[in-house]
Amino acid sequence: MIRNIFTKKYLPLALVCAFAFSMVAPAYASLSSTNYQITSDSINFAGTEDGASSNYKIRDTGGEVATGDSTGIIYAIKAGYRQLVQAIAGSSNSGSSNTQTSNAGASGPAGQNIFAVQSIFVATGANTLLLDVSLNQPGKATLYWGLSNLYEGGSIASDTFRTDHVFKLEHLTPGTRYYFTIQAVNEAGTPATNVPEKSATTLIAPDVSAPSNPSKLVVEPAQTGAVVSWQNPTDADVESVKVVRSTDFYPADPQEGEVVYEGRASEVLDTKVLPGKTYYYTLFTKDVSGNYSSGAIAKIYITKPGEIAPLKETDIFAQVKPAPTIDPAFDRLNILDFLITQNNKMTVESDGKILLDGGEQFKIAIDYSKLPEVLKTMVVSIKDLSRPDEVFTFLLRVNRDKTKYEALVDKLGRGGNFAMVISILDHKHQGVKQFSGDLVVSAPKPDSIFSRFVGDPVGTLRQVSVIWWIILVALVLLVRKIVKFI
């Protein structure tokens, strides 16, 4: 009995399935497949499946519409007609779509070869979109684009009748979605029946920007060596600080010199120093993308027993004897060749003073093309005029694009007047060219100090003025009173 039930109920289904799996026909859906697409008013043959581009057949309510090799052709559909699409693969196996009734259709007769946009291929970059547009007939095409489907970005039009058109959108924002549409007209003045609306997202650009340098770098003698201390930058993506040193000169690259320390601390004791020698230290910040800062520098002379320590030098090139000649390209430079920017804005006022916000980082840079291709060292020294013993010096290093020599300086953290000296050492002639500028720094806003305190509480408390100490103590006392009252 069970056998009879199975035979009557499931055997027909099994035979159908066996027949279906014996076919090698491509997969078809009610609206589209790899071979065709039925839209509201047309049938578009893509013919992309291997071996399935040989023959197609369309039937509608009125009978057979078209047969033959129809790859890439778009046929109009009459409104209210039912459509059946059949495709015969190269292996002579065939497949059919479900019948579809078109609610809207083209006004022309079924089977008419109509003008349309056939395909749009998009290649994305971080700042560009490249669109390759194909028409099924020669025509002119216009691209409309923008950040929304209002296409407020503008338009680009081709000026020749052809089937292939290429449009390039440049200077776009990385990681941003852009919308675009194509309108086309053929040589007869007939517009394309379809107006495809699409979107694409630009790639996220790799981070190649150098982080800001460590600040407040000081090297002091200790009983068992030299203590190197600094303040870590406030960049959110800082991974570590690398301390390297040399007995010859300041290491200009993270791979030069001997590694003293690498990590997230703000102080290290260097015990591998010898009396009677001068040691040159460079500290590089490294971010999570592997970019290094230009480098903060300082030096120290380790005295011999009974020897008097030399006075601290505020000019790192003070011992360099001026050469009778220097490369003429250096002589042609002046302070205005150096760009001082903060938040991507120029900071030089008309009287030559440089206005800065003490709660923001700032960058010092000069165009690569303005400097000769000779061995050189460029440094910038910043001195707080109210604390003349505090001088902090940074290297200017060429960026990855080789477009600028630059240094990113972390927030100064306080207001006041600072002196800036930019020095260029010409190693060939052993000559030094220097440029001076005045920095007028406004006190950081309270929220900037709070943000800095969260990232580096100890370093921030060392910088804040007496007034901020008073405010902090008052707040603590106020909180204690509130807690007792509650």
Query: Residue 446 domain-assigned?
Result: yes
User: Which CATH number belongs to the domain containing residue 148 in this structure?
Assistant: 2.60.40.10
What whole-number distance in Å separates Cα of residue 136 and Cα of residue 196?
Answer: 14
Domain match, 305 and 327 both = no
Query: Residue 110 domain-assigned?
Result: no
What whole-number distance in Å separates Cα of residue 237 and Cα of residue 210?
Answer: 11
Q: Is the pLDDT of residue 457 over 50?
A: yes
Domain match, 303 and 410 both = no
Q: Is the pLDDT of residue 49 over 90?
A: no
What whole-number distance in Å separates Cα of residue 145 and Cα of residue 129?
Answer: 11
Backbone torsions φ then ψ of 315, nearest 5 degrees: -115, 110
User: Which CATH number belongs to the domain containing residue 358 in this structure?
Assistant: 2.60.40.2550
Collapsing DSSP to helix, strand or coil, 178 comes out as: strand
Is there a contact between 379 and 395 (Cβ–Cβ < 8 Å)? yes
Q: Which domain holds residue 371?
A: 323-455
Alpha-carbon dihedral angle through residues 312, 316, 318, 321, given to the nearest 10 degrees: 150
Domain match, 333 and 278 both = no
Counting the structural domains of the chain, the total is 5
Which stretches of 162-213 are assigned E, i.e. beta strand? 162-169, 177-186, 197-201
Q: What is the pLDDT of residue 168?
A: 96
Domain match, 379 and 466 both = no
**What pLDDT, in 10s, does the model give residues 232-279?**
998 888 999 999 999 999 999 999 999 999 999 999 999 999 999 999
What whole-number distance in Å separates Cα of residue 302 and Cα of residue 247?
Answer: 11
Domain match, 156 and 277 both = no
| Angle at alpha carbon of residue 392, lines to 406 and 362, rounded to 5° | 40
What are the Cα distances from residue 416, in Å, to 77, 296, 438, 443?
Answer: 77, 22, 11, 7
Q: Is the pLDDT of residue 366 over 90?
A: yes
Query: Residue 318 domain-assigned?
Result: no
Domain match, 336 and 269 both = no
The contacts of residue 134 (CB under 8 Å, 6+ apart) are 117, 118, 119, 120, 163, 164, 165
Task: Kindly provide the b/e burial profile for residues 181-215, where b requires at least 16 CB atoms within 10 angstroms of the residue's own CB.
Answer: bbbbbbeeeeebbbeeeeebebeeeeeebbbbbbb
Q: What is the pLDDT of residue 244?
A: 98
Q: 18: pLDDT confidence band, cut at 50, 70 and 90? A: very low
**What pLDDT, in 10s, does the model give residues 115-166?**
999 899 999 998 999 999 999 999 999 999 999 999 999 999 999 999 999 9
Q: What does the DSSP 8-state code read for residue 218?
A: E
Q: What is the pLDDT of residue 21?
A: 32
Element (H, E) at 314: none
* Residue type at position 458: V
Predicted structure pTM score: 0.59
What whole-number distance in Å separates Cα of residue 81 and Cα of residue 56?
Answer: 19
Structure tokens of 210? 């150098």
Nearest Cα neighbor of 400 from 296, 287, 297 is 287
Q: What is the mean pLDDT of residues 32-44?
A: 48
Instruction: Pick from 89-93, 341-345, 453-457 the range whose average pLDDT is largest.
Output: 341-345
User: What's the gap between Cα 339 and its chain centre?
Assistant: 22
User: Which CATH number belongs to the domain containing residue 54 in this structure?
Assistant: 2.60.40
Nearest Cα neighbor of 269 from 225, 302, 304 is 225
Query: Residue 317 domain-assigned?
Result: no
